[in-house]
Amino acid sequence: MAVFSLSASVGEALVLGLATGPVCLATCGPVVVPWMMVQPRGVRGHSRQLGLFLAARLAGYMVFATAVWLVGSSIQRAWVGQAGAGRAGIGQSWLMGGIEVLLAAALVVYAVGWPHRRCAAANPAYAQASARHEARDRPAYAQASARLGTTDKLLRIGEARSLRSGALALGFLTGINLCPPFLVAGVRAAELEHLSAALVFFVCFFVGTAVWFLPFLSMGFVQRTPAVVTVARMVAVLLACWYGFSGVYLLIERTFYG
């Protein structure tokens, strides 16, 4: 009976993930697209970045699954009502506002890479290491970067050093972001008997949704010119403004109107 129950919930989670995957794609797309576009061309590098992003997203799912299972029916009652009221209902939470503000900060830090530029300017050894790294891994970009003058800092590429931590941070933050399919899965996981069952449920849900992320690998084929990278960085800034505004608005709304 227990085996049947487990396989049933596995199947349910998979189907739920597959069915709601397009919504996940649309929700995470604004973060994934500019992030992938600032990476060098090549499917291999994109696979690595997407793998890291999804792994961090899975970690976010696990944290969320543990939280909903521990809080259990109380969170279930609260969220079922809010999810029924749509995005506005879901948005009236500190969590949502806080995550959006963090996401905005992460987009600026990792996709635009301003702190690293300051770091490189302050530390010649770091700048030399960066130049060696660029010359080895991205000769075309290093050449393009060298051609550009001092007024073209925005066009410089390969300066966002912490690629790995960027993918992990953005993946984790989108992993705990409360999108509608995620809430449905959370409500279902909270009903399960054991924590392990809730975790398995979320892993299967994750696998179902992750299939929809595979098309992002095609962005590895897109030609990387300085213009493409600049546009991607501008998009990241615009999205950071959007998430920042949305997050602050939600926090203010929550603070003043309850």
DSSP secondary structure string, 9-47? Answer: HHHHHHHHHHHHHHHHHHHHHHHHHHHHHTSPS-HHHHH
Q: By CB under 8 A, is residue 29 in contact with other proteins?
A: yes
Return the residue matching tokens 């809080």. 71
| Least distance between other proteins and beta carbon 169 (Å) | 19
Amino acid at 147: R
Q: Name the 3-class secondary structure at 159.
A: coil
The CA distance from 43 to 48, in Å, is 9
Binder among 155, 187, 217, 248 for other proteins (CB under 8 A): 155
In the complex with other proteins, the residue whose CB is nearer, 65 or 184, is 184
Backbone Cα Rg of the chain: 20
Which positions from 210 to 249 touch other proteins by CB under 8 A, shown as an x/- string?
-----------------x--xxx-xx--xx--x------x
Q: Which stretch binds other proteins (CB under 8 A): 44-52, 107-115, 134-142, 146-154?
A: 146-154
**Which two tokens mark 255?**
């603070």
In the complex with other proteins, the residue whose CB is nearer, 29 or 115, is 29
Site for other proteins in 71-100 (CB under 8 A): 87
**Which two tokens mark 21?**
């995957």
The CA distance from 20 to 17, in Å, is 5
**Which two tokens mark 143?**
């050449």
Q: Name the 3-class secondary structure at 150.
A: helix
In the complex with other proteins, the residue whose CB is nearer, 46 or 189, is 46
| Least distance between other proteins and beta carbon 144 (Å) | 13
The CA distance from 174 to 99, in Å, is 8
| Least distance between other proteins and beta carbon 130 (Å) | 22
Binder among 22, 51, 89, 215 for other proteins (CB under 8 A): 22
Binder among 9, 20, 34, 103 for other proteins (CB under 8 A): 34
Site of interaction with other proteins (CB under 8 A): 22-23, 25-27, 29-30, 33-34, 87, 151-152, 154-155, 227, 230-232, 234-235, 238-239, 242, 249
